[in-house]
């Protein structure tokens, strides 16, 4: 009995350290998400280039997410997590040292590679550490930590802009990654497979043959498309359309992160109790898409802040639901691969939005770009819902045999 208690305490300490690492790493990432667009804009980048800076980083993360999952299953999360944090820190300092727009694309790609490995390692480590019945709450706590980082990062970066220039601010906020070291060390027990080699065929086949896989991928693309488009342009949208000073843009991002983080834990409890999770995803996409359309027509600080704070919890809960579905689709020895695929789809969706709708924003304005993206996201959400409705229609179409005489 005492051994079970000690094991539970060790697991709690391990997950706590991972949560702290997630918060610190995403604090540095979100500070970078504020300062890089503002810095590039100051160097002369146009709207499409600012959106492309976001996209190249997330595309790089998508490319490395699945290989990272294979490496996690084979070697564990510790080495990969530490590697990703070192890469993220180096690319952020290098971005602060550049004085033209083009090198920023290079360092965004390098940082994206680190980010893809980092997310796969964090998600895999947590899903391996908790029981399936509490997975929604664990995902809630993990993503709460990430969103706490999204609040802390822009808040610190925005406040520092009162005294520092953009380049110095970008460099200084790299120090937030120091707090990820304990989590990297705590992830030492997350090796999930003793298989030799990096075989990919069998884990992928087991995923693709499951009924829920295609719908959840479509839902994830819909959500990440809408989320990524607004997120990529929000800093310069705040500067150009809302006409806010840089410090208030950081505060706007921080308020959104508060709403995002505060909704993750209750959202995780809702996901654990829900019999069907796709309606949570559908509602999240629709509500966020409607908010994005409204956002494109607003000015000032408070109205956009209210819209973002009101709509963000719906999308936050949707992401928790999709993370849990992916975790449920995995076997014990393939969690890394499964969460790597989750990261790949997520980052591809996040990067596709700014690339696809960036030209609309550039030529026709933010309202047109946000509206076009929202329409595409809702259309994909409807396709996801149709996949789930099809089995119901098939069951309804089956005719019962006529009753036997005399019954």
Structure tokens of 317? 């809960």
- Residue 192 is classified by DSSP as -
Q: How big is the CA angle at 179 (ends 177 and 180), to the nearest 5 degrees?
A: 70
The length of the chain is 407
Structure tokens of 172? 């200084």
| 3-state percent helix, strand, coil for the chain, nearest multiple of 5 | 85, 0, 15
Distance CA 162, CA 328 (A): 46
Task: Dump strand ranges (E) for 205-341.
Answer: none
Q: What are phi and psi of 200, to 5 degrees?
A: -115, -25
Find out whether 140 and 264 touch, Cβ atoms under 8 Å.
Answer: yes
Domains along the sequence of the chain with CATH: 7-189+200-396 (1.20.1250.20)
For 9, other C-beta atoms within 10 Å of its C-beta total 10
pTM of this prediction?
0.71
- The residue behind tokens 């304005």 is 365
pLDDT at 364: 92
Q: How big is the CA angle at 306 (ends 38 and 360), to the nearest 5 degrees?
A: 50
Closest to 235 in 3D by CA, of 26, 101, 360, 50: 50
Q: Which residues contact 187 (CB under 8 A, 6 or more apart)?
A: 14, 17, 18, 21, 76, 77, 78, 81, 121, 125
Residues of the chain with pLDDT under 70: 1-11, 69, 73-77, 128-136, 187-204, 330-336, 389-407
Q: What are phi and psi of 172, to 5 degrees?
A: -65, -40
Q: Is 349 exposed, middle or buried (0-12, 13-18, 19+ CB in 10 A)?
A: buried
Find out whether 107 and 126 touch, Cβ atoms under 8 Å.
Answer: no
pLDDT at 358: 87
Question: Which tens digits make up the pLDDT trace of 268-298?
Answer: 888 888 888 899 999 999 999 999 999 999 9
Q: Using DSSP, state whether 82 is helix, strand or coil.
A: helix
The Cα diameter of the chain in Å comes to 90
Distance CA 253, CA 152 (A): 10
pLDDT at 261: 80
Distance CA 260, CA 392 (A): 33
Distance CA 17, CA 298 (A): 40
Kindly compute the dihedral angle of the four CA atoms of residues 289, 290, 294, 300, in this order, to the nearest 10 degrees.
Answer: -60
Question: Which tens digits make up the pLDDT trace of 177-207?
Answer: 888 877 777 765 545 544 444 455 666 677 7
pLDDT at 219: 95
Closest to 58 in 3D by CA, of 338, 348, 323: 348
Distance CA 27, CA 157 (A): 10
């Amino acid at each position: 009995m005492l051994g079970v208690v000690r094991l539970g305490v060790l697991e709690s300490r391990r997950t706590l350290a991972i949560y702290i690492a997630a918060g610190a790493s995403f604090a540095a990432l979100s500070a970078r998400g504020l300062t890089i667009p503002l810095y590039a804009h100051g160097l002369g980048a146009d709207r499409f280039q600012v959106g492309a800076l976001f996209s190249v980083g997330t595309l790089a993360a998508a490319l490395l997410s699945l290989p990272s999952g294979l490496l996690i299953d084979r070697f564990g999360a510790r080495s990969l997590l530490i590697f990703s944090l070192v890469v993220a820190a180096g690319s952020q300092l290098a971005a602060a040292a550049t004085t033209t727009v083009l090198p920023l694309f290079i360092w965004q790609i390098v940082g994206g590679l680190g980010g893809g490995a980092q997310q796969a390692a964090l998600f895999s480590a947590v899903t391996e550490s908790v029981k399936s019945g509490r997975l929604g709450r664990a995902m809630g706590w993990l993503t709460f930590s990430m969103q706490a980082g999204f609040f802390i990062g822009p808040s610190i970066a925005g406040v520092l802009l009162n005294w520092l220039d953009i380049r110095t601010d970008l460099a200084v906020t790299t120090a937030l990654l120091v707090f990820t070291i304990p989590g990297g060390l705590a992830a030492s027990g997350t090796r999930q497979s003793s298989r030799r080699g990096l075989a990919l065929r069998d884990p992928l086949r087991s995923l693709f043959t499951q009924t829920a896989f295609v719908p959840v991928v479509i839902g994830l693309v819909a959500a990440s498309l809408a989320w990524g488009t607004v997120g990529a342009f929000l800093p310069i949208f705040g500067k150009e359309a809302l006409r806010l000073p840089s410090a208030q843009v950081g505060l706007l991002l921080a308020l959104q992160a508060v709403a995002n983080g505060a909704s993750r834990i209750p959202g995780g409890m809702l996901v654990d109790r829900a019999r069907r999770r796709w309606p949570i995803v559908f509602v999240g996409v629709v509500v966020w898409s409607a908010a994005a359309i409204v956002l494109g027509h607003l000015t000032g600080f408070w109205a956009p802040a209210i819209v973002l704070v009101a709509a963000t919890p719906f999308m936050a809960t949707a992401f928790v639901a999709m993370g849990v579905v992916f975790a449920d689709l995995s076997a014990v020895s393939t969690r890394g691969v499964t969460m790597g695929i989750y990261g790949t789809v997520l980052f591809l969706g996040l990067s596709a939005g700014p690339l696809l709708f960036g030209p609309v924003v550039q030529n026709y304005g933010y309202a047109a770009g946000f509206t076009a993206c929202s329409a595409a996201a809702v259309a994909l959400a409807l396709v996801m819902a149709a996949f789930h409705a099809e089995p119901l229609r098939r069951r309804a179409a089956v005719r019962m045999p006529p009753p036997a005489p005399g019954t």
